[in-house]
Amino acid sequence: MKELEERIRKEGTVKQGNVLKVDAFLNHQCDVALYDAMGAAWAEHFQGKTITKILTIEASGIGMACVAARHFGNVPVVFAKKAQSINLDGDQYVTTVYSFTKQREFPVIVSRKYLGPDDHVLLIDDFLANGKALHGLIDICKHAGATVEGIGIAVEKGFQGGGDKLREEGYDLDSLAIVESMDPETGDIEFRG
Amino acid sequence: MKELEERIRKEGTVKQGNVLKVDAFLNHQCDVALYDAMGAAWAEHFQGKTITKILTIEASGIGMACVAARHFGNVPVVFAKKAQSINLDGDQYVTTVYSFTKQREFPVIVSRKYLGPDDHVLLIDDFLANGKALHGLIDICKHAGATVEGIGIAVEKGFQGGGDKLREEGYDLDSLAIVESMDPETGDIEFRG
């Protein structure tokens, strides 16, 4: 997606340790017009598929998933929660995810009430690096007996391999920008052609 | 807002300890069509005000804030983050908030880059009980020198007093449903007339 690549080039910052900061428009300050264009792009890619639910993970995936849902007939968006909360029942799917950003493992939960065997799910998240968060969401869909119809990602860090592994596993993965390499010294970012 | 009150009556659950669960449509599974109607209602209430930015707090406020932003000319949405993250610079506004849901204090941060003295801010959140999270967001706006133009809340628990305190302080607060009382034994929910 040209527009997203241009925004990353213009407003993204490359930091040491494979960190790409896009918090000016994607995951701290949110450009909702860009989110809407991203939703339209995913809808075009996944057209013809029946999507009954969008599943994402807190916090950065929620905004783009909710805006994108409009392009999928306003299907419900469920967001996986990163910790036990007294507002949730015990009747949950649980998995464990390692966060690259937070550098620790944490439990991820989805209420059984909101995901089941009849669901055809589109997974949405802001970043895909090694794929640990996505594998957590896929794990939850497996627990629920739900079908993963596709995966919509804003920014894939292609050089970390998680995306290609998911493609090899047969998932229909649509990453709107795939960073092939980035240099914290020069700030250069190369996208997959 | 009639539609929201009806959903709370129909799908909300009253639990011991002043807990009202609305995770079927508001803050775990998200009804984005309802979010859109909520955004339209807030836009009507705050019409005539200049809003340059929407500020919310992760995680449950993000989805409704991003969907609502469409009704405010697609202004940027900034979400305050609940913990230090290696993806954020040191240049942040910081405050501390006590979470009723998580029953502990946590730091809340917003990058200085995304909020400043020129901003006219609409605060949005899913719940208002004692007002601790909102006071954290107001505190951050004060640090930034930004003007709080108004506060849009989905569900105010009126009997916990946080909303009336904010009204007394002069804030333009639009809660779409105000729960005056609720009974965990019978499940009865009374709304402010």
Measured CA to CA in angstroms, residue A156 lies from A1, A4, A102, A130, A175 at distances of 12, 12, 18, 9, 6
Could you read off the pLDDT of A52-83 as tens digits, one per residue?
Answer: 999 999 999 999 999 999 999 999 999 999 87
Please report which helix (H) or strand (E) contains residue B189, including its range.
strand B189-191
A-chain residues near B28 (CB < 8 A): 78-79, 81, 88, 110-111, 114
Give the model's pLDDT for residue A98: 85
Q: Flag whether residue B113 sits within 8 Å of chain A, measured between CB atoms.
A: yes
Q: What confidence tier does A86 reach under pLDDT thresholds 50, 70, 90?
A: very low
Sorted by where each begins, the domain ranges of chain B are 2-191
Mean pLDDT of B18-37: 97
Residues A116, A51: Cα–Cα separation, whole Å: 13
Please report which helix (H) or strand (E) contains residue A150, including its range.
strand A147-157
The closest CB to that of A85, out of B24, B30, B102, belongs to: B102
Residues B45, B49: Cα–Cα separation, whole Å: 9
Q: Answer whether A76 sits within 8 Å of B23, measured CB to CB.
A: no
Cβ-based neighbours of A183, under 8 Å, separated by 6 or more: A14, A189
What's the CATH code, domain A2-191?
3.40.50.2020
Q: DSSP code of A70? A: G
Per-residue pLDDT at B86 exceeds 50:
no
Of A179-193, B76-90, B128-142, minimum mean pLDDT range: B76-90
The closest CB to that of B114, out of A28, A32, A58, belongs to: A28
- CA distance, residue A85 to nearest chain B CA (Å): 6
CB pairs under 8 A between A and B: 134
Residues B84, B38: Cα–Cα separation, whole Å: 31
Q: What confidence tier does B182 reach under pLDDT thresholds 50, 70, 90?
A: very high
Could you read off the pLDDT of A111-169 as tens digits, one per residue?
Answer: 999 999 999 999 999 999 999 999 999 999 999 999 999 999 999 999 999 999 999 99
Q: How many CA atoms lie within 13 A of A162 on its CB side?
A: 21
Mean pLDDT of B43-56: 98
For chain A, give the mean pLDDT. Answer: 94
The gap from C-alpha B109 to its chain's centroid, in whole angstroms, comes to 16
Q: Flag whether residue B66 sits within 8 Å of chain A, measured between CB atoms.
A: yes
Q: Flag whether residue B146 sits within 8 Å of chain A, measured between CB atoms.
A: no
Measured CA to CA in angstroms, residue B41 lies from A32, A79, B147 at distances of 19, 24, 21
Mean pLDDT of B94-117: 87
Q: Flag whether residue A84 sits within 8 Å of chain B, measured between CB atoms.
A: no
Q: Flag whether residue A35 sits within 8 Å of chain B, measured between CB atoms.
A: yes
Instruction: Please check whether residue A160 is in contact with residue A20, taking contact to mean a CB–CB distance below 8 angstroms.
Output: no
A-chain residues near B11 (CB < 8 A): none
Q: Answer whether A102 sits within 8 Å of B88, measured CB to CB.
A: no
